[in-house]
Chains A and B, each alone.
Chain A
């Protein structure tokens, strides 16, 4: 039962990493930019969830507003920060992106205070359910259910709808897609919108689980998500999903087996190094 617990925990960690990393890999696939400030969008989602939930008394409304506002913010980042930089090499945009992350962390600190925020009413993390001998709380169930719904919906959207197929085509080859009449600019906005909405959802769920959001909460996730998209083969959605879940599991078991020698945060990179030594193209090798 212990190992089932650890396994389940790994999947929960992994599902949150996946929600976060999908946006990052989409941006990389489309624009070849490492969108580091995606982590700030995640933190923004968490802060908005708490603020709106505390103001209205509805956590669901908080999450909804967070997702919408973050999606708009994400598109704004593209329009204001990246679009003017597209004519420069991608590292210019990456440096600007790091700058934005640092700026946002300090902005959160100045606006929301040094000590972070908590929900005034949040019964969910301590609502316990027993499923087949496993103890799991409501937030963890929500994490699994919501991330599954989002990822399945995303998969259906990109394979079954005209817009989704056009999007995928643009990600894999912008020039050809454009010549087939796909509006590449629209695809870029769509990209930032969906990626940012997913990150905000992850931020809101993590905020619920910890009952705590803090200005620096995006930092750790930012570099883990980078490790994930490299593992996933840079730009591959399927690869990112697999890498995210794999990292979640590695961390869950690794914390117990090697945790006393190695920091959990370092595990991500050890895992990355080992995988890249064996499979330089990433776990799935979608982009060799």
Chain B
């Protein structure tokens, strides 16, 4: 018996080995590459958070439909950060510590992106802030990237569009008094001289304001050739309506965050002819965006806009970078991200990242026509649009 024992043992071992190899062979099919994701799913920023979540799901489905990441299935680990710094820090730590994610995307506002970035940087987790526009996010370190234009290039593009494309030189400016509005305004003011644009009056309003009577009266007194507004669709809708209701008929140029179907729903005929610098190019030839918007509408029950499109692009870009790196090694993926060339971002061709990991990308200008956003022009002077490098 004893003589036979080693023999049995050997065959058992072999059997175990076969099983183990079998398991290894199967495992790539069931293994998952986890991407951490933060978005304000509840609280005051939930409108954008819910859009971000829907977009993130569509992105993962697309990645998996196209073969996944390095042949493995992509999976999101999503947390609600309520757009609050403390929740962003808490959930970022959870993503890194508890869930062990090696890659992360923020579908949240600047404040949370800024709070979460150092945690991902310290853990050497490549991190993309999809649409958070605070400049400090990418300054955190070499693992932090951003896939949206900063406010300043947006403002410079608007100055060129108004002065060059439209040829309007005397204008009134109405800006929202948050980071995004003020950064855009700064960029705008830095470029007006270059395009011969003169600012007649400059007004600002708080984010929660919807009654713009005194600003409207002042714009009327300015009697400008055009009005430039920074704001969101929910401020822009009422503001454009109130400007038009006061008999102001000159062209109105809005900033990127005007680019939501709800703007047209709110302001109706008043918003006809309004230009949006930085809007999504909804030209029918833009197949990928068309598919995305159709899927988004189906899933969310309302039309998609910039926030979702940028989140979608950020997640697809992360998967693309991992595939290009050919490894899950975060350092190599970081390098692949930094070396991105001509990536098809839904908002346009992401030409490259600059040394501060900000995008070099042309900007689309839309016009509202017959109740729809239509492509009007490209601002593709990448030198003018250059984001800060330090």
* B285 on interface, CB distance cutoff 8 Å: no
Chain A residue contacts of B218, Cβ below 8 A: 2, 256
- Say yes or no: is A220 at the interface (Cβ < 8 Å to chain B): yes
Q: What A residues does B221 contact at CB under 8 A?
A: 2
A259 pairs with B238, CB closer than 8 A: no
Query: Does any Cβ of B come within 8 Å of A252's Cβ?
Result: yes
Seen from chain A, the residues whose Cβ lies within 8 Å of a Cβ on chain B are: 2, 5-6, 9-10, 12-13, 106, 109, 113-116, 118, 122, 125-128, 135, 137, 206, 209-212, 214, 216-217, 219-220, 251-253, 255-256, 259-260, 263-265
With A9-B213, A118-B266 given, is the CB distance from A125 to B242 under 8 Å?
A: yes
**Known contacts A2-B221, A109-B46; is-contact A259 B204 (Cβ 8 Å):** yes
Question: Which one of B208, B209, B244 contacts A126 once the chains associate, using CB atoms below 8 Å?
Answer: B244
Q: When A and B form their complex, which 6 residue pairs have the shortest distance between CB atoms, in order from nearest?
A: A9-B213, A5-B217, A210-B238, A114-B47, A255-B214, A137-B245
Contact A126 B266 (CB under 8 A): no
Query: Which of A109, A122, A252 contacts B214, CB < 8 Å?
Result: A252
Give B198-237 interface residues, CB cut-off 8 Å to A.
202-206, 208-211, 213-215, 217-218, 220-221, 234, 237
Chain A residues within an 8 Å CB radius of B269: 126
Cβ B203 vs Cβ A259 within 8 A: yes
Chain B interface bracket (under 10, 10 to 19, 20 to 34, 35 or more)? 35 or more
In the complex, whether B87 has a CB less than 8 A from a CB of chain A is no
Residues in A neighbouring B241, C-beta threshold 8 A? 125-126, 210-211
Q: Is the CB of B214 within 8 A of A113?
A: no
Give the distance in Å from the alpha carbon of A5 to the alpha carbon of B208 in the complex: 23
B210 pairs with A114, CB closer than 8 A: no
Q: Does B89 contact A (CB under 8 A)?
A: no
Chain B residues proximal to chain A, CB less than 8 Å: 42, 44, 46-47, 50, 177, 202-206, 208-211, 213-215, 217-218, 220-221, 234, 237-238, 241-242, 244-247, 262, 265-270, 301-302
Flag if A212 contacts B234 (CB, 8 Å): yes
Which single residue of chain B is at the shortest CB-CB distance from A263? B206
What A residues does B267 contact at CB under 8 A?
A: 211
B195 to chain A, nearest CB (A): 23
23 contacts between A and B (CB under 8 A): A2-B217, A2-B221, A5-B213, A6-B217, A9-B213, A115-B262, A115-B302, A125-B245, A137-B246, A206-B210, A210-B266, A211-B238, A212-B210, A216-B208, A251-B214, A255-B205, A255-B214, A255-B215, A259-B204, A259-B205, A260-B202, A264-B205, A264-B206
CA gap between A214 and B45 in the complex, in Å:
12
Instruction: Write the nearest CB–CB distance from B120 to chain A, whole angstroms.
Output: 27
Interface centre among A206, A210, A219 (most CB of B within 10 A): A210
Q: How far is the CA of A118 from the CA of B237 in the complex (A)?
A: 11
Across the interface, A9 reaches (CB within 8 A) one of B208, B217, B237, B247, namely B217
For the complex, what is the distance from the CA of A255 to the CA of B213, rounded to whole Å?
10
Which residue of the partner chain A has the closest CB to B247? A135
Closest to A13 in B: B211
Bound Cα distance from A212 to B267, whole angstroms: 9
